[in-house]
Amino acid sequence: MDFKAVIFDLDGTLLDTLEDVINTLNSVLESHRYPTHSLDEGRYLVGHGMRDLVRKALPENTATEPLIDALLVDLMNHYSSNWNRHSKPYPGIAEMLDDLTARGMKKAILSNKADRFTQLCAKELLSNWTFDVVMGHHSAILHKPDPAGALLVAEMLKHKPEEILYIGDSGIDMQTASRAGMYPLGVLWGFRPAEELLEFGAKTLVEKPEDITKFL
C-alpha cells in the first residue's frame, strides 16, 4: 500500500504515560476520599479523554456532573505538575520515527488527551522529531472515535483518508480510523489487548515499533 502519511495516537502508542496519569488520578480520588485504581485497572479507564477518565474512576452511581466538574479541575491542576515524572517513549519508537523521517513520511499526532497536555508531551518528550500536525482534544472537535478530528488532520496534511495509516493501541483508535476511511493498524505494546483491537476493526497488528517500518 502506498501510504503518504501516518497519524499516531499518543498515549499507549508513542508514549508510555499510564503511570503518571493514574498516579495523578489516584491522588485526586484519595483527596476526595474515593477508592483508587491499580495500573492494570487504569488501562481500561483511559482513552476517551480526561473527563471520561474521571467519570469511569468514580464509584458507580456517584458520578454526578457537578462532582465530575470539580474533580476534573483538580485532575488538570495536578497533572500540570506531574505529567512527565515517568512518561517516556516506548522502546523502539525513536528508531521508528527516525526511519519515517528519513523516508520523508508526513507524521501527525491525534489524541483524546486535552490539547495543552498533548502539545506538552510532543514538545518535551518527542522533541527530536517534527510532526506536521499535533492535535489533542479541544472544544472544536468531538472525542475519538468520532472521525471529525482525524478528517481534520487529513485535511491539514493535504492527503486523502485512504492515503493515511492510522496507528493506535485501542479499539477507540481502530474505530476512528475505520470511520474516517483510513487504514487501522493496532500496536500491542500499549494499554489494550489484541482482542479489543481486532474487535473494533484493526486490519494489521504489530508487536514492536520496527514492525511499522517493515509494514510501510
Q: CATH 3.40.50.1000 in the chain, residues?
A: 5-16+87-215
91-94 long-range Cβ contacts below 8 angstroms, 24+ apart: 91/208, 91/209, 92/208, 92/209, 92/210, 93/14, 93/15, 93/209, 94/128
Band (pLDDT 50/70/90 cuts) for residue 209 is: very high
pLDDT at 1 over 80: no
- CATH domain 18-82 topology: DNA polymerase; domain 1 (1.10.150)
Which pLDDT does position 119 carry in this prediction?
96
Task: Look at residue 199 and tell me whether its pLDDT is greater than 80.
Answer: yes
How much of the chain, in percent, has pLDDT values that exceed 70?
Answer: 100
**Residue of 2, 9, 98, 132 marked active site:** 9
Q: Is the pLDDT of residue 204 over 90?
A: yes
The model's pTM: 0.93
CA atoms of 17 and 53, how far apart (whole Å): 14
C-alpha cell at 141: 472537535
Cα–Cα distance, 109 to 9 (Å, whole number): 6
Place of cell 499510564: 18
What is the homologous superfamily of the domain 5-16+87-215 according to CATH? Answer: HAD superfamily/HAD-like (3.40.50.1000)
16 is catalytic: no
> Tens digit of pLDDT for each residue in 99-118?
999 999 999 999 999 999 99
